[in-house]
Amino acid sequence: MSRDGAQWQDIRSASDLNWELAQAVSRGEPLTLALGTEASRGERTVTLPIEELKSRELDAAAMRAIGLGRGFNEPVVGAPKAGGPAAKAGLQAGDRVLSVDGRPIADAAGLIDLIRASAAAGDPPPMAWRVERAGQVVQLEVQPAVRLEGEARIAYVDVAVGKKAPTVLVRYGFVEGIEAGFTRTWEMSVMTFKLLAKMLVGQASLKNLSGPLTIAEYAGETAQMGLAVFIGFLAIVSTSIGVLNLLPLPVLDGGHLMYYLFEAVTGRPLSEQWLGRLQRAGLVLVLLMMSLALYNDVARHLGPH
């Protein structure tokens, strides 16, 4: 992976890739990736035109625009539900879908979208599926059924679709892990400061500010993913809180550092009158930030999902 076409570095995990994407989106710069296989590295390179994105935030919409919105899932079907459209068509567990109505199927998400959208204009027509079964190509005709989700008509075939790609656990040595931890903490701190600055000047949305509800929600989700993911999330939260605490607001540690700097420069401490004024102003600003974060939390939960 290259940030500017000259400085290359290894991407060892999905989290590494997401981190580099977040920084590239924040800077509005293209990102060049060297792609390969397990046997050969760097077979070809692709450049993601991230500078063309309208957003400078790596949210779900930006990931979809980049083309990395959903993880790859092989288009392999599970056991069809008895009496459902898939069972009636003769689909069997382990069938790999090659194409539907002549359209190649790259992954499970594309197949699901194609099935669901077939009822958008009315009753879905029969679909011609080509599947690979035990090394042979089999032609099947699948007639999707329809259900209502609110006012939307959704087609389905009553079979689980998707076989997750194999994953590899990435481990660092003790010294390498300590070094990587310090590096990532520093980079995350700098990025947080930059994001706060962009929010102040209107270059980034204030919706990026999250409060206790969002933190609790993500804490629950990461806890279900495993101890390592949960600890990583706690590290991110701790770093963000540490950065916020260093802001030059009178009621925070950053404000106290500002007092010490004033005293070092002028040779005298701040007067009690000004100290009181600044403390009250700082308290108001912190309360406003907390209120905004809580409002964003409530808006996310009450808004459309």
Mean pLDDT by 10 residues, the chain (305 residues): 59 78 80 73 75 70 71 84 91 92 87 86 87 92 85 85 75 86 86 79 72 82 78 85 84 85 85 85 86 82 59
| pLDDT for res 41 | 60
Number of domains in the chain: 3
78 inside domain: yes
User: What's the CA gap between 161 and 80, in Å, rounded?
Assistant: 10
Contacting residues for 278 by C-beta, under 8 A, at least 6 apart: 250, 255, 270
Main-chain dihedrals φ then ψ at residue 302, nearest 5 degrees: -90, -20
Length, in residues, of the chain:
305
- Does 221 fall in a domain? yes
Q: Distance between CA atoms of 114 and 263, rounded to whole angstroms?
A: 67
Pick the closest to residue 187 from 148, 236, 141, 249 (CA basis): 236
DSSP code at position 303: S
Residues 138 and 48 in one domain: no
- What's the token pair of residue 188? 């995350």
Is 238 part of a structural domain of the chain?
yes
CA gap 258, 215 in Å, rounded: 29
How far, in Å, are 216, 252, 261, 282, 286 from residue 249 at the CA level?
Answer: 26, 6, 13, 5, 8
Decide which of 5, 31, 66 is a domain's last residue: 66
Q: Are residues 94 and 29 in the same domain?
A: no
Task: Note the maximum CA span of the chain.
Answer: 86
* pLDDT for 305: 45
Nearest to 109 by CA among 73, 55, 148: 73
Asked if 295 and 187 sit in the same domain, the reply is yes
In a domain, 1, yes or no: no
Let me know if residue 87 belongs to a domain.
Answer: yes
Q: Are residues 41 and 93 in the same domain?
A: no
Within-domain flag for 28: yes
* Same domain, yes or no: 141 and 191: no
* Predicted pLDDT at 60: 66
Question: What are phi and psi for residue 178, nearest 5 degrees?
Answer: -60, -45
Q: Is residue 181 domain-resident?
A: yes
Specify whether 189 is located in the same domain as 279.
Answer: yes
Which structural domain range is residue 93 located in? 73-164
CA neighbor of 249 nearest in space, from 198, 189, 290: 290
Q: Say yes or no: 244 and 290 in one domain.
A: yes
147/208 same-domain check: no
Is residue 271 one of the residues assigned to a domain?
yes
Amino acid at 173: G
pTM of the model: 0.56
Among 143, 164, 185, where does a domain finish? 164
Round to whole Å and give the CA distance between 300 and 295: 9
Same domain, 179 and 297: yes
